[in-house]
Amino acid sequence: MTVGVVPITDAERQQRVAKAQRLMREQKIGGIFLEAGSSLDYFTGASWQPSDRLFGLVLPAKGDLVWLVPAADEKRAPAGQDVRLWQDDPFPRLAQMLKDRGIASGTLGIDERARFFVFDGIRRACPALEFTNADSVTAGCRMYKSAAELALMQRASDVTIAAYKAGLATLREGMPQNELQNNIHAAYRALGYPGYVSVMYGAYTAFPHGSLTPQKLKLGDFVMIDDGCTVEGYQSDITRTVIFGKPTDRQRQIWTLERKAQDAALAAAKPGAPCEAVDIAARKVIEAAGFGPGYKTPGLPHRTGHGIGLDGHEWTYLVKGNKTPLAKGMCFSDEPTIAIYGEFGVRLEDCFYMTDDGPHLFSKQSPAIDQPFA
Partner 1 sequence: MQITSDTYAQRVAQVQAAMKEFGLAAVVIEPGAAMQHLTGVRWGRSERTFLVVIPAKGAPAFVVPGFEEERAREMTPKGADIRVWQEDESPFERVAQVFQDRGVTTGRVGMEESLRFFILHNLKKAAPKMEYVTAQPALKSAGVNLVEAPRRRP
Residue 293 near partner 1 by CB under 8 A: no
247 or 279, CB closer to partner 1?
279
CA separation for the pair 61, 48 (Å, rounded): 23
Neighbouring residues of 47: CB distance < 8 A, sequence distance ≥ 6: 41, 233
Task: Identify whether the C-beta of residue 328 lies closer than 8 Å to the C-beta of residue 334.
Answer: no
Residue 2 near partner 1 by CB under 8 A: no
CA separation for the pair 17, 57 (Å, rounded): 12
- Fill in the per-residue mask, 140 to 159: x = in contact with partner 1 (CB under 8 A), - = not in contact: --------------------
Out of 114, 275, 308, 354, the residue judged to bind partner 1 by CB under 8 A: 114
CA separation for the pair 252, 243 (Å, rounded): 9
111 or 350, CB closer to partner 1?
111
Out of 320, 325, 329, 365, the residue judged to bind partner 1 by CB under 8 A: 320
Binding region for partner 1 (CB under 8 A) out of 20-28, 61-69, 284-292, 294-302: 294-302
325 phi/psi in degrees, rounded to 5: -75, 140
Neighbouring residues of 106: CB distance < 8 A, sequence distance ≥ 6: 28, 29, 30, 129, 130
Out of 202, 301, 336, 359, the residue judged to bind partner 1 by CB under 8 A: 301
Total residues at interface with partner 1 (CB under 8 A): 34
Phi-psi region of 321 (alpha: psi -120 to 50; beta: other; left: phi over 0): left
Question: Among 20, 81, 17, 73, which Cα is nearest to 49's?
Answer: 73
- Fill in the per-residue mask, 241 to 280: x = in contact with partner 1 (CB under 8 A), - = not in contact: ----------------------------------------
37 or 247, CB closer to partner 1?
37
243 or 285, CB closer to partner 1?
285
Q: How many CB atoms lie within 10 A of CB 227?
A: 20
Q: How far is the CB of 115 from partner 1 (least distance, A)?
A: 5
Neighbouring residues of 187: CB distance < 8 A, sequence distance ≥ 6: 162, 163, 166, 167
Question: Among 267, 262, 204, 214, which Cα is nearest to 238's?
Answer: 262
Residue 323 near partner 1 by CB under 8 A: no
Residue type, 281: A
Residue 319 near partner 1 by CB under 8 A: yes
229 or 369, CB closer to partner 1?
229
Out of 12, 82, 100, 112, the residue judged to bind partner 1 by CB under 8 A: 112
Instruction: Enumerate binding residues for partner 1 (CB under 8 A).
Output: 110-120, 131-133, 135, 196, 207-209, 211, 294-295, 301-303, 306, 313-314, 317, 319-321, 339, 341
